[in-house]
């Protein structure tokens, strides 16, 4: 029996998407399951390419959230290399945000354009702190400790491993005869030098001897090939940026546009406002070919208003995030699965993709979001504990953690997060988010393949080879669902064991 004949047969259990989500109750991703389909293909045949906006396509349906503990340039570069996209937050000045976007757009695979450097009077203690924070040594030494002065040496592990006195300045131990490459060198040429000279780091210098970038042997191995990279027409990595609806954001958009940003996310907790509609119309009227995602919205009426104002994509979610307390505090919002289905159903009539934002804590949540109409998933919690997320690791009860905070937490609002909650300048701050911590998840470069493989396996179980096929099955009522009770949810998870080892979300 073919896959198609199975789906068209009279033996259709469960509910269609329309039947499931027309019930007068809000549903989360955990409140239903997709019923299994027919398998006649291998997981490797599943294609995860999708649309972020009307014009921008991604090889992977992953978007990192514009939160100040989630996405800056390191995260955005890693997301783009792996086929997704990162959205740079705006808890910063215009110049700072533009600088982060520029790092992504100027990134050359294998070249570290903002290497950590030290000056000659720094100590081995400083090197130890860098190793603890970043996990590497091999630090270029310049005359004044910045990249704006001449390279005078390099310090590697072999220079300091057996030095007991850690207060010694690095000029006493550094290697001064440094093998370098000249600015303009290709990555292949740099790689050939590293292989020939058997070195771990190759500083790239300009005609004045100033450090331009750094090439690392480990990065060359790690960054050898990213065939699914998200790139623009000029072969630069794609990058998005968030802006508010405040008047200052018009200048912010203009500067980001000049820096080459690919997509603007108008970042409002409640996106159905005259302020966002005016911002949408302003951007579409003044910046040719700049894609704009509106949001956040959770109803068809909200979605229609932003689509009519020119939105090229919609961001869906109000209150489902792990650090968000909007629904409790404001008594406004919507259960996330219901919000995604209803807005996606409506937006599809206008050929506008939707991005499920919030409420995702595992692979199953991602698969469910895609199954009910989302084209991509925006995640904060899932990516906050990775190496590429801003912030430093710390230990609590022996567990390696990173800070993760909602943009409506008191802490984040003091840094500017209140712009998305129409709360800027108010004397009394009402928190709609909390600050917390998340477990170390390793590098995005390992984590994304893990998530991708999990989704492929889920799609195989559903019986669909692509997001496009899945959405077609949803619209035609061939993709079937079933509500599940609280006891069914409990039974579908780990139960009845004396003890067990939980699977880790840290991809090695």
> Binding site, residues?
267-269, 317-319, 321-322, 324, 357-359, 380-381, 404-408, 432, 486-487
Known catalytic membership, residue 324: yes
Which residue intervals of 348-491 are DSSP H helices?
363-371, 381-384, 410-414, 444-462, 467-476, 486-491
| Cross-strand partners of 243 | 266
Instruction: Give the C-alpha distances (Å, rounded to integers) separating 119 from 125, 162, 167, 214, 215.
Output: 13, 21, 14, 16, 19
* Binding-site sequence positions for K(+): 319, 321, 324, 486-487
Catalytic residue among 334, 420, 441, 456: 420
Catalytic residue among 239, 324, 334, 377: 324
Encoding tokens for residue 224?
């050898």
Q: What are phi and psi of 339, to 5 degrees?
A: -60, -45
CB 239 within 8 A of CB 85: yes
β-pair type (50-51, 57-58)? antiparallel
Q: Could you give the CA distance from residue 457 to residue 460 in angstroms, rounded to a whole number?
A: 5
Q: Could you give the CA distance from residue 2 to residue 8 in angstroms, rounded to a whole number?
A: 10
Give the number of other Cβ atoms within 10 Å of residue 223's Cβ.
16
Encoding tokens for residue 59?
């090889």
β-pair type (201-205, 181-182)? parallel
Q: Could you give the CA distance from residue 240 to residue 51 in angstroms, rounded to a whole number?
A: 14
Q: What are phi and psi of 171, to 5 degrees?
A: -65, -15
Known catalytic membership, residue 239: no
* Binding-site sequence positions for IMP: 322, 357-359, 380-381, 404-408, 432
Which residue intervals of 164-273 are DSSP H helices?
187-197, 217-222, 248-259
* Binding-site sequence positions for NAD(+): 267-269, 317-319
SS3 content of the chain, % helix, strand, coil (to 5): 35, 20, 45
| Cross-strand partners of 439 | 401
Count Cβ neighbours within 10 Å for each residue of 233-250 and write b for 16 or more, e otherwise. Answer: eeebbbbbbbbbbbeebe
CB 69 within 8 A of CB 389: yes
Task: Please give the positions annotated as active site.
Answer: 324, 420
């Amino acid at each position: 029996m073919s896959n198609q004949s199975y789906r068209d047969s009279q033996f259709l259990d469960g509910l269609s998407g329309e039947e499931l989500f027309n019930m007068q109750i809000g549903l989360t991703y955990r409140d239903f399951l997709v019923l299994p389909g027919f398998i006649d293909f291998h997981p490797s045949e599943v294609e995860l390419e999708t649309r972020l906006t009307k014009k921008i396509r991604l090889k992977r349906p992953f978007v990192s959230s514009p939160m100040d503990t989630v996405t800056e340039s390191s995260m955005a570069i890693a997301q783009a290399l792996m086929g997704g996209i990162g959205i740079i937050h705006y808890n910063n000045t215009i110049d700072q945000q533009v600088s982060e976007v520029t790092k992504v757009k100027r990134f050359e695979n294998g070249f570290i354009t903002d290497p950590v450097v030290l000056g000659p009077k720094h100590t081995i203690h400083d090197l130890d702190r860098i190793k603890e924070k970043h996990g590497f040594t091999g630090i270029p030494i310049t005359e004044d400790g910045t990249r704006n002065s001449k390279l005078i040496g390099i310090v590697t592990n072999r220079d300091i491993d057996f030095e007991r006195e850690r207060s010694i300045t690095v000029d006493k131990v550094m290697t001064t005869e440094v093998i370098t490459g000249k600015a303009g060198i290709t990555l292949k040429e740099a790689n050939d030098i590293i292989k020939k000279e058997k070195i771990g780091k190759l500083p790239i210098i300009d005609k004045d001897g100033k450090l331009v970038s750094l090439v690392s042997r480990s990065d060359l191995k790690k960054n050898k090939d990213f065939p699914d990279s998200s790139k623009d027409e000029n072969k630069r990595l794609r990058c998005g940026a968030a802006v508010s609806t405040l008047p200052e954001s018009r200048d912010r958009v203009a500067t980001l546009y000049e820096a080459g940003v690919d997509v603007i996310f108008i970042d409002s907790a409640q996106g159905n406002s005259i302020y966002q509609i005016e911002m949408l119309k302003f951007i579409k009227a003044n910046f040719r070919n700049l894609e704009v995602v509106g949001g956040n919205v959770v109803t068809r009426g909200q979605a229609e208003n932003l689509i009519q104002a020119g939105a090229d994509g919609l961001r869906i979610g109000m209150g489902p995030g792990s650090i968000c307390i909007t629904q409790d505090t404001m008594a406004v919002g919507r259960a996330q699965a219901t919000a995604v289905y209803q807005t996606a159903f409506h937006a599809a009539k206008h050929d506008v993709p939707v991005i499920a934002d919030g409420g995702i804590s595992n692979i199953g949540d991602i698969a469910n979001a895609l199954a009910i109409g989302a084209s991509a998933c925006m995640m904060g919690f899932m990516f906050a504990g990775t190496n590429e997320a801003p912030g430093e690791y710390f230990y609590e009860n022996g567990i390696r953690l990173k800070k993760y905070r909602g943009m409506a937490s008191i802490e984040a609002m003091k840094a500017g997060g209140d712009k998305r909650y129409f709360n800027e300048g108010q004397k009394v701050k009402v928190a709609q988010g909390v600050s917390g911590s998340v477990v170390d998840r390793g590098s995005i470069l390992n984590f994304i393949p893990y998530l991708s493989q999990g989704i492929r396996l889920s799609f195989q179980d559903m019986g669909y080879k692509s997001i496009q096929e899945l959405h077609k099955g949803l619209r035609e009522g061939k993709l079937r669902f079933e509500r599940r009770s609280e006891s069914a949810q409990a039974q579908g998870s780990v139960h009845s064991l004396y003890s067990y080892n939980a699977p880790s979300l840290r991809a090695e």
